[in-house]
Amino acid sequence: MSAGLTLRIPIERDRLANGLRLVLLAQAGAPVVTIYVIYGVGARDERPGRTGFAHLFEHMMFQGSANAPKGMHFRLVESNGGALNGSTHPDYTDYFEILPADKLALGLWLEADRMRGLAITEENLRNQREAVKQERRLSFDNQPYNTALVEHWPRLAFRNWANAHSLIGSYEDLEAATVEDVAAFFRTYYAPNNAVLALAGSFDPDEARRLVETYFGDIEPQPQPPRPDLAEPEQTEPLWQTYRDTLAKVPAVVIGYPGPVRRSPDYYALTLLDIVLTAGESSRFYQNLVKGRQSVIQYEANLGWPFAGPTDYLHPGRYAIFLLHHPDFRGEEIADHVEQEIARIQNDGVPEAELHRARAFLRSTRLRQLESSRTRATLAGLYELLDGDPDLLNSELDILSELTPAQLRDAAQRYFVPQRRAVLEIVPAPEISES
């Protein structure tokens, strides 16, 4: 990549005395600012008997705080033309507000107030416990494929409970949650020294630092929570499981292989290999499986799929592929078709012209994403939390652009190994009515 094409997004870093990490991405442009707060706690930090806690707590964070009663956070952001939300992931939980630039102080005050003093009450817990259970019913239990992907795929793909349990959690564990449990979770994980605050958009960095120090500086840190042991035993033989889905109309398969360490050379190689295999109509899967064999209807894949992508993938994880396929083909045939596409790369590599297209696709996609202040804040916050280096936002495209066909072939040979493959076959199975 020529020097003139290298990204140069200005990034400044700071750290408060209480451990809160601050990442500033100030750029002139539309008078908008994104406030992004990411905490180092996700579903993999949960313990047996307390599944779903990370997701439950995401809901609790919108139930009011010491100086912003329930509902005020939403009203203040939305009445000023802004937007807000939060999300739960395997390794982190995050929150954002997008506001007019002159409302930066308002957004920072709201985030600081709930970091300092969340309203943890029996009523709020009861309400949000029911909200999470209802979300599970609507979004997972009553949707095709989702129970297979959220409940069964992790248990097939992983042996360590921390990696294998459901991100959504069980009804029994949610019902057993107490106010004391929630308060302890808050003290442990929702502390400034376990968080990153990223700001992106149109603002003055010096003024932003002053505001952050004013609102967040006196929040007490807590002992740094230990990360759980996520180590997985080596898989030495292929795994296959069939799930009968009463809601599915079309059969599907999920195929996954153990993935590499984040930011390793093979991590970058598999990121680019995924583009070659699955991205756009020029990809191998589209050309050879959708159009050619006409065995696959649609597909999606990623490092960390279905709960993560390359930006937030952490080892141990899987490179996984989800394929809806025509009923005329059996799951074994679809798995074989995928293996054949992979074998072509393992044997013949990726031609330079095809690799050039993959690089161009990746670059154009990322540049479009980075037009958004929310994307800039999110990626910078993630890279600070997971890598300790938000400037990867500028440099990772250069790293990916320097990969060679030989590196992609070697990574495919190392990771796409049949003996380490896991396959979840999802078969439509109409419910049998009782007579």
Please list the pLDDT of the chain residue by residue as tens digits (435 residues).
333 457 899 999 999 999 999 999 999 889 999 999 999 999 999 999 989 989 998 999 999 999 999 999 999 999 999 999 999 999 999 999 999 999 999 999 999 999 999 999 999 999 988 888 888 888 878 899 999 999 999 999 999 999 999 888 888 998 888 999 989 999 999 999 999 999 999 999 999 999 999 999 999 999 999 889 999 999 999 999 999 999 999 999 999 999 999 999 999 999 999 999 999 999 999 999 999 999 999 999 999 999 999 999 999 999 999 999 999 999 999 999 999 999 999 999 999 999 999 999 999 999 999 999 999 999 999 999 999 999 999 999 999 999 999 999 999 999 999 999 999 999 999 766 554
What would the two tokens of residue 419 be?
A: 């003996």
* Among 290, 425, 285, 299, CA closest to 344: 285
Whether domain 239-428 has CATH 3.30.830.10: the reply is: yes
Say how far apart CA 10 and CA 33 lie, in whole Å: 15
How do the domains of the chain map onto residue ranges? 10-216, 239-428
SS3 content of the chain, % helix, strand, coil (to 5): 45, 20, 35
The predicted pLDDT at position 29 comes to 87
On whether the CB atoms of residues 421 and 239 are closer than 8 A, the answer is: yes
CB neighbour list of residue 40: distance below 8 Å, 6 or more residues apart: 91, 92, 189, 194, 195, 225, 385
User: Do 10-216 and 239-428 show the same overall fold?
Assistant: yes
Would strands 12-15 and 21-26 be described as parallel, antiparallel, or unpaired? antiparallel
Which 8-state DSSP code applies to residue 282? T
Q: Determine phi and psi for 418, rounding to 5 degrees.
A: -55, -35
Say how far apart CA 378 and CA 113 lie, in whole Å: 21
What would the two tokens of residue 177 be?
A: 């949650």
Hey, what CATH topology would domain 10-216 get? Cytochrome Bc1 Complex; Chain A, domain 1 (3.30.830)
Q: What is the dihedral of CA 170, 50, 61, 195, to 10 degrees?
A: -130
* Among 233, 232, 317, CA closest to 270: 317
Would strands 296-303 and 318-325 be described as parallel, antiparallel, or unpaired? antiparallel
